[in-house]
Amino acid sequence: MKAEDEWWRGCVIYQVYPRSFQDTTGDGVGDLAGVTRRLAYIASLGVDVVWLSPFFKSPMADMGYDVEDFCAVDPMFGTMDDFDRLIAEAHRLGLKVIIDQVLSHVSERHAWFVESRRDRTNPKADWFVWAEPKKDGTPPNNWLSVFGGSAWEWDGTRRQYFLHNFLASQPDLNFHNADVQDAVLETVRFWLERGVDGFRLDAVNYYFHDRRLRDNPPLKRRLGNDVPETNPYGYQDHVHDKSQPENIAFLRRFRALLKEYGAHAAVGEVGDGDRSLKTVAEYTAGSDLLQMCYTFDLLGPEFSAKHLRKCIEGFETTVRDGWVCWSLSNHDVPRHATRLTKNNGDPDRTARFAILLLAALRGSICFYQGEELGLEEAEIAFEDLRDPYGIRFWPAFKGRDGCRTPMVWKHDGHNAGFTTGKPWLPIPAGHAAAAVDLQEDDGTSVLAWYRRVLATRRVSPALRIGALRFLSSGTDVLLFERRSGDEAILCAFNFSDDEARVRRPAGADKVFLAVGGHSIGTKTLTLAGRSAVMVRTV
């Protein structure tokens, strides 16, 4: 395989949440034309790929993750011509484009579900997961929805329950039906024909369910990363409602379709608790499944040398053939400048430390719009919430809107340059001080640091695709070497607030990227608290 065919290996992905990126119509919601307008900015960051969150036709009950038509652009975001222009401009700038494919479920307004719920004998009657109630009228089993309550919703017309792993208005497709698989793959083909370079597969391990609808057993120990502790979903061991073995054959069909169109790639989102790495290994084995996956291991509150090493070594030892995509933030979790800053620490320092760490890891990396500005999590009042997840579990869980507020382009512009209308979510006053226009002119800004780090990574085979080898270090220090051919780089990250010393390998004396204070002695490397360095060793 040619190197250019594996463009996804070691790539840098920039996630765009279109409704919060740039509005061009004044309706307060970002759109595809706005993304196109800002593509030159995205390219200037030094990224390789743009990931677009859903822009398909949708009633927006879950902000577009409830798809009404897989092959149409929602008028809120523009037209298909707008999408085509976006693809053309991205490619002109040397950027790949991957789009979010939400295949496990649809909106209740989707034509497939409208037909399926009509009666039990129509051509699509078996396209969704329908089940009889128990004798007492209760749901067929104990499965729970990620968004709270039972995963089963009663339909009075069919007099049956249908399965929904998320909102009740997001019925799950029945992937055990071959016709469903065929139909879904045709929607994927539609976007391949329009020039997309790949896909991010939402909830990729949710496609299949246990045919026998067996109850999930209770979880023997609590998990902290998949869902907040306020959600009873975390009390079950989800062995029957997701991650079923039949998914392997479908992913093989998906990859075969990609191969028809040349060098295209897919990254799967895997949320499977402490089985996530095992699932990633299964989904990326060989050359006929997914190229890469990401898990929720780095998207939770834990941020320590011990945790990072456990995650990295777990991937390296479990996932033999596949490739991982690391990220610290996305549209579903609190921004890491807030989440990972300890004890009234400096969010800017966290932002700089975090991108240097991501750039040092073996794998592809993804960061979310606004990370490069060091944006912190926004505080959203209950009356301003739009996220159904947050509304459901308020006040114990405040939802995901705090990371979805609009981008800030101009510090003194109306609505920080995002829209001329009323933004769909309020823009925190503090965010304007981190606007792009201010940071563009500041060589010491977080934005400038991101560009420097990503430019370094782009020209370094060791950082992009090289091997990773851990070295002995203190409890709170992550110390490893990246190597490819004649290039070797020592990477040292002090996660503690206290000064730390580590043994310096011979020749490791050429610091070229650093966050915080450091010094190099004859035999030791000294790092101030929450500091990090990259040192060339040959």
Query: For position 506, which CATH number holds?
Result: 2.60.40.1180
Laid out side by side, the sheet with 487-494 consists of 467-470, 477-484, 487-494, 532-536, 510-515
pLDDT (0 to 100) of residue 223: 47
End-of-domain residue from the set 426, 457, 488: 457
The pLDDT of residue 2 is above 90: no
Mean pLDDT computed over 494-506: 90
pLDDT (0 to 100) of residue 99: 98
Where does the pLDDT of residue 462 fall: very low under 50, low under 70, confident under 90, or very high at 90 and above?
A: very high
Give the rounded percent of residues in the chain with a pLDDT score beyond 70.
98
The answer, as to whether pTM is greater than 0.85, is yes
End-of-domain residue from the set 457, 486, 502: 457
Which residue is catalytic, options 136, 193, 260, 486?
A: 260
Top-ranked range on mean pLDDT: pick from 3-7, 97-101, 311-315: 97-101
Q: What is the pLDDT of residues 189-199, one digit of tens each?
A: 999 999 999 99
Mean pLDDT computed over 434-444: 97
Token pair recorded at residue 247:
């998914």
pLDDT (0 to 100) of residue 506: 78
pLDDT (0 to 100) of residue 73: 98
**Which residues fall within 8 angstroms of residue 148, CB to CB, at 6 or more apart?**
231, 232, 233, 389, 392, 393
Where does the pLDDT of residue 537 fall: very low under 50, low under 70, confident under 90, or very high at 90 and above?
A: confident
Residue 66 catalytic?
no
The pLDDT of residue 66 is above 60: yes
pLDDT (0 to 100) of residue 226: 47
Which residue is catalytic, options 23, 62, 153, 202?
A: 202
> Range of 70's domain?
3-105+178-457
pLDDT (0 to 100) of residue 228: 47
pLDDT (0 to 100) of residue 507: 78
One domain for residues 445 and 475: no
Residue 62 catalytic?
no
pLDDT (0 to 100) of residue 1: 54
> What does the alpha-carbon distance between residue 498 and residue 528 come to, in Å, rounded to a whole number?
6
Where does the pLDDT of residue 134 fall: very low under 50, low under 70, confident under 90, or very high at 90 and above?
A: very high
Q: How many CB atoms lie within 10 A of CB 306?
A: 12
449 lies in a domain? Answer: yes
Give the rounded percent of residues in the chain with a pLDDT score beyond 90.
90
Token pair recorded at residue 287:
């050359």
End-of-domain residue from the set 432, 457, 482: 457
For the chain, the domain total comes to 2
